[in-house]
């Protein structure tokens, strides 16, 4: 009954997210979004509501995917936990360096722009932070079980530190650090995780 929409909702949201990520919330107009998606303003309003709602929807969609892919990348056997951890960071660095538009990390960008200004956005970003920290903490616990990490260390505190590094690295890519420096920072971060006491025999 009636004409079906001529667009794919996920594709549109991905384009919207990309556009917001490029120039920020305030820096993106509905005309930009209309041009990027190919949809007219009327269609956008009918399908997604006003600008803020559209943004929150795109942000939620991005966070969902980001949380799922992060959890998947960090899950696995205890033996390779440390390798997964390093790959998680290096992969994030490479993805951002290889992005032709040098887009800032969505999460970092809006944590800075909207925290304290938009309650709903802040809540969603907080949830994303918790998810990333939980995934990292799980990987750290795996490393502890495998004897790669001091079992006395608190995985949540260390995971918080890793999120801090992750976000900090993302924000510094924008000012032109090269890959070698970034990789060195990642390795220094991981080298700083507390080693297990020498008495315990490593695998």
Partner DNA sequence: GGGGTTCTTTACTGAGCAGTCCAGATCGTT
Partner DNA sequence: AACGATCTGGACTGCTCAGTAAAGAACCCC
Q: Which positions touch DNA (CB under 7 A)?
A: 1-7, 28-32, 38-43, 45-47, 50-52
Residue 26 sits in the site that holds a copy of itself (CB under 8 A):
yes
Q: Using CA atoms, how far apart are residues 149 and 140, in angstroms rounded to an integer? A: 8
Residue 64 tokens read as: 């969902």
Residue 44 sits in the site that holds a copy of itself (CB under 8 A):
no
Which residues, 105 to 144, sit near a copy of itself by CB under 8 A?
Answer: 108-109, 111-113, 115-117, 122, 125-126, 129
Which of 191, 193, 189, 135 lies closest to 166, judged by CA? 189
Residue 65 sits in the site that holds a copy of itself (CB under 8 A):
no
Which of 176, 185, 67 lies closest to 127, judged by CA? 67
Decide whether 65 or 157 has the Cβ nearer to a copy of itself.
157
Nearest approach, Cβ of 89 to a copy of itself (angstroms)? Answer: 11
Q: What is the largest CA-CA distance in the chain?
A: 72
For residue 52, the partner it binds in DNA, a copy of itself, none, with Cβ less than 5 to 8 A by kind, is DNA
Residues with Cβ within 8 Å of 44's Cβ and at least 6 positions away in sequence, in order, are 30, 33, 34, 37, 54
Residue 7 sits in the site that holds a copy of itself (CB under 8 A):
no
Residue 47 sits in the site that holds a copy of itself (CB under 8 A):
no
Nearest approach, Cβ of 36 to DNA (angstroms)? Answer: 12
Decide whether 3 or 119 has the Cβ nearer to DNA.
3
Footprint of a copy of itself (CB under 8 A):
23-24, 26-27, 102, 104, 108-109, 111-113, 115-117, 122, 125-126, 129, 154, 157-158, 160-161, 163-169, 171-172, 174-177, 181, 184-185, 188-189, 191-194
């Amino acid at each position: 009954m009636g004409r079906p929409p001529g667009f794919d909702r996920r594709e549109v949201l991905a384009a919207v997210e990309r556009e917001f990520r490029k120039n920020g919330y305030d820096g993106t107009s509905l005309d930009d979004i209309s041009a990027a998606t190919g949809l007219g303003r009327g269609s956008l309003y009918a399908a997604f509501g006003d600008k803020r709602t559209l943004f929150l929807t795109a942000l939620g969609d991005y966070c969902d995917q980001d949380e799922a892919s992060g959890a998947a990348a960090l899950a696995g056997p205890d033996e390779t936990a440390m390798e997964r951890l390093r790959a998680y960071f290096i992969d994030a660095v490479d993805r951002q360096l290889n992005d032709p538009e040098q887009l800032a990390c969505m999460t970092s960008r809006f944590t800075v722009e909207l925290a304290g200004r938009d309650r709903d956005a802040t809540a969603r970003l907080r949830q994303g932070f918790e998810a990333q920290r939980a995934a990292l903490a799980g990987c750290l616990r795996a490393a502890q079980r495998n004897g790669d990490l001091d079992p006395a260390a608190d995985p949540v505190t260390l995971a918080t530190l890793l999120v801090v590094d992750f976000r900090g690295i993302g924000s510094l890519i924008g000012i032109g650090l090269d890959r070698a420096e970034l990789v060195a920072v990642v390795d220094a971060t991981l080298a700083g995780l507390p080693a297990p006491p020498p008495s315990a025999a490593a695998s």
